[in-house]
A and B are shown apart, each in its own frame.
Chain A
Amino acid sequence: MSTQRKALSLISGGLDSMLATRVILDQGIHVEGVNFFTGFCVEGHTHAIRKKDRAKPKRNNALWVAETLGIKLHIVDVIDEYKDVVINPKHGYGSNMNPCLDCKCFMVRKAHEWIQAHNFDFIITGEVIGQRPMSQRRDTMPVIQRESGAEDRLLRPLCGKNLPETLPEREGWIDRERLYGFSGRGRKPQIALAREMGIEDYAQPSGGCCFLTDEAYSHKLTDLWQARGERRYELDDIMLLKVGRHLRPRPNFKLIIGREEGENNFLEGYRKQFTHIRTLSHPGPLVLLDGEPGADDIALAARIAARFSKGRDAEQVEVEITPLGAEARREHVAPMPSGEMPQEWYL
């Protein structure tokens, strides 16, 4: 009796990894999925925070893909280890703060460690030559194999026909003829294959699943590093970059201003870690001050907080200021006129 071969598939929740997995399942391989949580995954977070989005059905696409395919899914927290990928990417960044090639090498390396620990035979990904400008190119495919340590135990079923033979093909565990030869940025072959396989429902394909590819988010992350004078972050930092309006009036502090009830509730959970301001006389947002604000800065922030309340046109707004680690106090402040808030403050 032949040995049941086992593969681990990197499941993003998008269509490509779903198809790649299905191709290998159809060849009789036992497949389990892995999904790495870096902290930058878009997956539902903004939905979870914003009140208006709560009513919309929400699902974790990686879990949904796994359930649809009938495979197990292991979700792995790589938040701490991933920091080095973001802070020191050997291959640099893409058009924003996205270290796509280092990221793929990292994830395949983690997958390789996993298959060694769990006695699996090979790894599959949904990569397609030319699909992504940084990480999915003909010249980067071997880089990922080499730097991850996976070498020829890494199989890309959607473009495998265009790549050198891998171990699972050589050993006859899978049939190379039943792999695909997709290439380029187009989505048509994937969509056609999905239809052929009877897969009609899938998440919007690729690219939009990581905050590091987002220009506004990347700008806020760079600003954070610049303000702190060092390139480092904690999970709370990168979560807070996803929430609220961020304004930096002075280099030593910034304001995080909730934009609606859901965001205010989310920020509530963080208020004990920050100097914070809320408006009392008028409905308004919760405002956190990140950095090291002095008395002058707090006074300025209170006027900005008043500006973002319903009392923006009032002469005075009563605010409650709670400095970090101190008692709350009440003050009356004049809302800052919008003309005095330069656009450069907005991150």
Chain B
Amino acid sequence: MSHYELDARRMLCPMPVIKTQNLVATLKPGDTVEVFCTDHGALNDVPAWSRINGHEVIATRESDGEISITVRVGDSDG
């Protein structure tokens, strides 16, 4: 089980989702990724993407306009 951090600050949606998707595609089930972003749209989009693709959002934090969303990689193939 490994933990990764992904810097998607200043990127507008859907770029944070694309970056998350591309990183998750290289990881194993159970690995976690903490995505840092500044576009509030990510609060909707990263969880929606996770639900669709069988991953789980395990933490969301927001402070000073910066958001962090932690996704646990699911067993799904994709």
Contacts and interface: CB of A to CB of B under 8 A. Distances in A.
Interface stretch (A57-65, A145-153, A189-197, A326-334): A57-65
B18 A37 contact: yes
B41 A60 contact: yes
A63 B12 contact: no
A138 B48 CA distance: 36
B29 interface: no
B52 A37 contact: no
B10 A58 contact: no
A49 B65 CA distance: 12
B71 interface: no
Contact of B45 (A45, A54, A63, A265): A63
Contacts of A44: 12-13, 41
Contact of B52 (A48, A58, A63, A269): A63
Given A44-B41, A47-B41, A48-B39, A67 B13 contact: no
Given A48-B40, A59-B44, A63-B49, A75 B14 contact: yes
The range of chain A's interface size is 20 to 34
A327 B6 CA distance: 32
A43 B13 CA distance: 8
Interface string B40-62: 11001100110111000000000
B17 interface: yes
Interface string B19-49: 0011000000000000000011100110011
Given A44-B13, A269-B10, A63 B48 contact: yes
A66 interface: yes
B10 to A, nearest CB: 5
Contacts, number: 68
A136 B2 CA distance: 47
A165 to B, nearest CB: 32
A245 interface: no
Contact-size category for B: 20 to 34
Nearest to A265: B65
A73 interface: yes
B13 A60 contact: yes
A64 B44 CA distance: 10
A239 interface: yes
Nearest to A76: B18
B63 to A, nearest CB: 16
B9 to A, nearest CB: 8
Nearest to B78: A72
B51 A67 contact: yes
Contact of A49 (B12, B17, B48): B12
25 contacts: A35-B14, A37-B15, A43-B14, A44-B12, A44-B41, A45-B13, A47-B41, A48-B12, A48-B40, A54-B40, A58-B41, A59-B44, A60-B48, A63-B48, A63-B52, A67-B48, A67-B52, A71-B52, A73-B52, A73-B53, A75-B21, A76-B18, A77-B15, A77-B18, A265-B65
Closest 5 CB pairs of A and B: A63-B48, A60-B45, A48-B39, A269-B10, A44-B41
Given A63-B45, A71-B52, A73-B52, 13 more contacts: A43-B14, A44-B12, A48-B40, A60-B44, A64-B48, A67-B51, A67-B52, A72-B53, A72-B78, A75-B14, A75-B18, A75-B21, A269-B10
